[in-house]
Amino acid sequence: MFVKQFYVPSLGHYSYLIGDTNSGEALVLDPKRDINDYLDTAQAEGLRIKFIFETHNHNNYVSGSRELTAATGAPLFASTDSGIHHDFQPVKEGDEIQVGGLKVTVMATPGHTPEHVSYTVADTSRTEEPVLILTGGDLLVGSVGRPDLLGKELGEKLAPKLYDSLHNKILKLEDYVQVLPTHGAGSSCGNNISTTRTSTIGYEKRFNEALQQPDETSFIEFVLKDQPAIPAYYRRMRPVNQDGPAVLGNFPGLKPLTPAEVINLMDEGYLLIDTRSPASFGGGHIEGSYNIGQGGSFTTWVGSVVGLDKPLIFLLAETTPQNLKEIVNQLVRIGYENVLFGYLVGGFESWLAAGLPIVHLPQISVKELEAELKGAGAGSQAQNPDRQVRNVLDVRSDMEWAAGHIEGAVHVPGGELEAKLEQGQLTLEKAQSLAVICGSGYRSSVAASILQRHGFSDLQNTMGGMSAWTAAKLPTVK
């Protein structure tokens, strides 16, 4: 049996190609939208993709199932309760599908979502007993899937079902059975997911904290508290996957643009996303651009703060073909294919070479911020009587805020900032002097760039964020 896991770090997403090496038949489970990895691997291994399986309707990415069906002719298998409105083969508890010599058995496991199913796989050339289970969003490595992605009320109803699916079905398998989940570290579909990519039933029974809860009531309380914030784009993904995302074939490309073209497009309402680091963005950037650094959180933060109503252009740290392709892939995975337009050729250097104006986002250390808050900093009221003592805007999650924050800080989760500004729900004054802080300096740079675009001018980004603040043993309150 051939098994390969594919990992998308920016989504915390795992998908799988599993094949019977004797017959050459293979399946793909929970595919991402850019499908060439599956096609290339199958060809290299002498496998034919004959089946596509989904464990649930995904909230964090656009499924690649229709794309893969169009490329291979393989049918999609999904829960009979999935509510999918395009072609698929419905499956239910106990159904068996033969993939060559591999026996795939359906296990109905509602919990992470109402329609969730898991699949056990047995290599019948050796035994009829399962050797692995594809657990989707229910059993994760070191964690379990959250049941509240579709709302708090439904989450309270799904949590007991998740407990039942885990304890009365999945964990009844032998300890040696390998656990292959769909959600991994970096996904908001679970809390404190391990960076380890696979596990076993026995290991999870012994070390998974959620599974150590003494009873169902304790388990429900555990899985409903302290979950990460749900990115705004998640609410779009489930209906997109149920209705059936467009089959693209070839993904869109980004058009090369001159500085003059970028100016004209921004005047027409196009949004420029600067993917450089916070430090580079702070040192100088194009007025009106958003700073969403091209790191592990890029997809989540574009999906959280950028709508689908504006065409997008990009300023990249590196304009290599591979980097351009990765930008497109990351955003097509979450449904932005119709708004991807172009990129500034030559990056920020070409803008500078054209002699065009730039703006800055000052960076402040936590020690400097502390001094300003005490009224003793170089830019403080003590030395500049016309300037207000700086205030702090904390853009971390509710859970992070509750764990400890700077006294007197204002709290607005970064993912909510754009919407609150658009709807006039933010009480901050544009003339106010603000230091923006998050956990490390990444999210605060995103937030500060949003504030700049909305007319806030006296801003600083706090380098190192609350991690640096606590490391410096500076005071916090709860």
Looking at the structure, do residues 320 and 369 belong to the same domain, yes or no? no
Whether 41 contacts 66, CB under 8 Å:
no
Smallest CA-to-CA distance from 355 within 429, 260, 419 is with 260
Is 282 inside any structural domain? yes
Share of the chain above pLDDT 90, in %: 90
Quote the CA–CA distance of 462 and 302 in Å, as a whole number: 21
Order of all β-strands in the sheet with 117-123: 96-99, 102-108, 117-123, 132-136, 178-181, 199-200
Is 250 inside any structural domain? no
Give the end of a domain, one of 299, 321, 353: 353
Give the end of a domain, one of 192, 220, 243: 243
- Report the predicted TM-score, pTM, of the whole model to 2 decimal places: 0.92
Looking at the structure, do residues 264 and 213 belong to the same domain, yes or no? no
| Confidence band for 385, pLDDT divided at 50, 70 and 90 | very low
31: number of CA atoms within 13 Å, CB side?
28
- Cα-to-chain-centroid distance, residue 266: 27
Smallest CA-to-CA distance from 75 within 84, 279, 164 is with 84
Q: Concatenated DSSP letters for 155-220?
A: HHHHHHHHHHHHHHTGGGS-TTPEEEESB-TT-TTBSS--S---EEHHHHHHH-GGGG-SSHHHHH
Looking at the structure, do residues 98 and 181 belong to the same domain, yes or no? yes
Domain range spanning residue 444? 363-471
Strands 363-364 and 391-394 come out as unpaired
**pLDDT score, position 387:** 46
Looking at the structure, do residues 170 and 64 belong to the same domain, yes or no? yes
Is 44 inside any structural domain? yes
Quote the CA–CA distance of 312 and 341 in Å, as a whole number: 6
Is 46 inside any structural domain? yes
Looking at the structure, do residues 226 and 331 belong to the same domain, yes or no? no
**pLDDT score, position 203:** 98
Question: 474: burial class by Cβ within 10 Å (0-12, 13-18, 19+)?
Answer: middle
Which residue, chain included where needed, has tokens 């050339």?
A: 125
Using left for φ > 0, alpha for ψ between -120 and 50, and beta otherwise, residue 10 falls in alpha
Looking at the structure, do residues 224 and 326 belong to the same domain, yes or no? no
Is 433 inside any structural domain? yes
- For 324-365, how does the pLDDT look when each residue is reduced to its tens digit (9 = 90+)? 999 999 999 999 999 999 999 999 999 999 999 999 999 999
Indicate the number of domains in the chain. 3
Mean pLDDT of 189-196: 95
Looking at the structure, do residues 71 and 214 belong to the same domain, yes or no? yes
List the CATH number of the domain containing 379.
Answer: 3.40.250.10
Give the end of a domain, one of 353, 376, 397: 353
Looking at the structure, do residues 138 and 239 belong to the same domain, yes or no? yes
Looking at the structure, do residues 348 and 220 belong to the same domain, yes or no? no
List the CATH number of the domain containing 182.
Answer: 3.60.15.10
**pLDDT score, position 388:** 52
Is 358 inside any structural domain? no
Smallest CA-to-CA distance from 28 within 38, 39, 20, 17 is with 17
**pLDDT score, position 389:** 53
Looking at the structure, do residues 409 and 348 belong to the same domain, yes or no? no
**Distance (Å) of CA 242 to CA 42, 247, 362, 471:** 27, 14, 45, 46
3-state secondary structure of 271: strand
Looking at the structure, do residues 10 and 55 belong to the same domain, yes or no? yes
Looking at the structure, do residues 311 and 446 belong to the same domain, yes or no? no
Least confident of 132-146, 164-178, 426-440: 426-440
Helix, strand counts (H, E) of the chain = 16, 24
Is 280 inside any structural domain? yes
- For 194-241, how does the pLDDT look when each residue is reduced to its tens digit (9 = 90+)? 999 999 999 999 999 999 999 999 999 999 998 888 898 999 999 999
